Amino acid sequence: MKIKYIFRYLVVASLMLHFTACTDTEVEQKFDKTPTERLNAQKSELQEVLLTSPDGWKAVYFTDNKQLGGFTHLFKFTADGKVEMASDFNTTSTPKFTSDYDIQLGSTVSLVFTTKNRIHLLSDSSPAAAPTAALRGKGYLGDFQFLYYGQDNGQLIFKANRTAGDSNSSEIRFVKATSQDWDDLSKNFLMIPNVIGSNVFGANRGLEIIDGTTKKTYDFNPYTTITRFGSYTDITSNNGIGIGYSPNGIVISPAIKVGDQMLSNFIFNSADGSFTATGTNGASASIKYSNTPFVISDDYKNFAPGQPQRVVGYIAPNLTAAQSNSVLCRNLIDKINAGLPATQSLARVQVVFNNAVNGTYIQYLFNGGKATITHFVTTEVNEANKTIILTDDGWTHNAATIAILKDLDAQLTNPEGLYIKKEAFTIVASNKIYTLANASNNGFRITTYQL
């Protein structure tokens, strides 16, 4: 072999050895600390960073976003192991309390609130603390030991020790708080009536998701304040969401995916009662009102002529305060009660469909000894509009007796018909809920049980 080729081979071999040596050195540098040393370094990091925010930290803690909402907590840590804390767990006040915290080493680094404070309200398992019967003995499923997972754009990332082993468990993010956050924490409570809603802006409430030019709509179902949990549904799906309050809106979990964006922060608009989360490139999600139903179901088919008998009924007092009753509905019922003697009131409005003897009829039942009044109707289906039309076919009483019912009855027998929808929620009793909405979209909607 010629000398020049031997020389080239030696140069290449030398370079390969050089690069291999560099690579080995880099690998060794990555593992130049033992696991204990790395945990101690992370502990020191957390100890230092907790003290770096002058006004402390804020976290909206969703303990279980499959059945519970979020609770805002403010923390201000001191170097001697004390933490000042406030939260919006109680819906009347946001007092500050001081307690102890510690940063502990185990298989990972943990922030532990070692003596009782506001965060412990979420882990109280006493029977009285349970928000629902299913959570008796479990409380709000909260924790007071948070496993530290590092930082992301100035935010501290934790997971609750109770759910850390669940791959679907939510992160708990601490963001730097401001003095305004402490001053405004009690304003979270002012948002509660807006989340509950009052239907003053429309008979129906829905979630509208827009991804550029594509729009999808859902019904936004009644919201439960004690759990801070709600849902939005269409014909095929029921999606639960936990809700946390803020002074100017709400934050939800899980976030709503719009295209490739995740939207979770909704701003309240007092002009129309809506909550809107805005992304980029035309992406948005809005909880809003309309007199037109957001979802029109095929449930009317089960009440059509020729089907078996079905009965649905509004029953006071169980359904009197139902959020799914529209303002117009409530006003008409109040008007009836105001026109009755003090000892009497409207007890029930029920529609009997397809009775084998009497066909279809509307019954008005009263408390206080007043006789039941019945309005017989004929029925037809408008397949195009997905409605059932009830048409007058005579009353059991004379015009003077039925006059007090005429305005409410006119909504049920309007010529445009009724939308009928089986709802995903229940109220007081376990009976299925059906809502009947005036298809003329004038703002009438009444809530009934399947009887």
Look at 13 and 107; give whichever has higher pLDDT.
Answer: 107
Domains and CATH numbers, the chain: 47-177 (2.40.128), 191-290 (2.40.128), 299-450 (no CATH)
The dihedral over CA atoms of 103, 105, 106, 109, expressed in degrees to the nearest 10, equals 60
Average pLDDT on 149-163 reads: 94
Average pLDDT on 340-366 reads: 97
- Is the pLDDT at 343 greater than 70, yes or no? yes
The pLDDT of residue 424? 86
Task: Based on DSSP, count helices (H) and strands (E) in the chain, helices before strands.
Answer: 7, 24
The pLDDT of residue 18? 45
Question: What is the rounded distance in angstroms from the CA atom of residue 391 to the CA atom of residue 413?
Answer: 6
Per-residue confidence band for 87, with pLDDT thresholds at 50, 70 and 90: very high
Tokens at residue 185, please?
């924490």
- Is the pLDDT at 202 greater than 50, yes or no? yes
Q: Summarize pLDDT for 226-258 with one digit per residue, the tens.
A: 999 999 999 888 999 999 999 999 999 999 999
Average pLDDT on 178-197 reads: 96
Per-residue confidence band for 31, with pLDDT thresholds at 50, 70 and 90: low
Average pLDDT on 372-383 reads: 97
- Is the pLDDT at 368 greater than 60, yes or no? yes
- Is the pLDDT at 14 greater than 60, yes or no? no
Q: Summarize pLDDT for 110-155 with one digit per residue, the tens.
A: 999 999 999 999 999 998 899 999 999 999 999 999 999 999 999 9
Average pLDDT on 289-309 reads: 94
* pTM more than 0.85: no
Q: Coil, helix or strand for 403?
A: helix
- Is the pLDDT at 104 greater than 70, yes or no? yes
- Nearest Cα neighbor of 111 from 46, 166, 56 is 46
Question: What is the rounded distance in angstroms from the CA atom of residue 269 to the CA atom of residue 284?
Answer: 14
Please report, rounded to a whole number, the percentage of residues in the chain having pLDDT higher than 70: 92
Tokens at residue 395, please?
């009353």
Residue 111 and residue 43 in contact, taking contact as beta carbons nearer than 8 Å: no
- Nearest Cα neighbor of 432 from 290, 272, 297 is 297
- Terminal CA-CA length for the chain: 101
Give the DSSP H or E segment for 126.
none
Average pLDDT on 308-327 reads: 95
The pLDDT of residue 32? 67
Look at 163 and 184; give whichever has higher pLDDT.
Answer: 184
Average pLDDT on 84-105 reads: 94
* Peptide bond connecting 254 to the previous residue in cis, omega within 30 degrees of 0: yes
The pLDDT of residue 93? 84
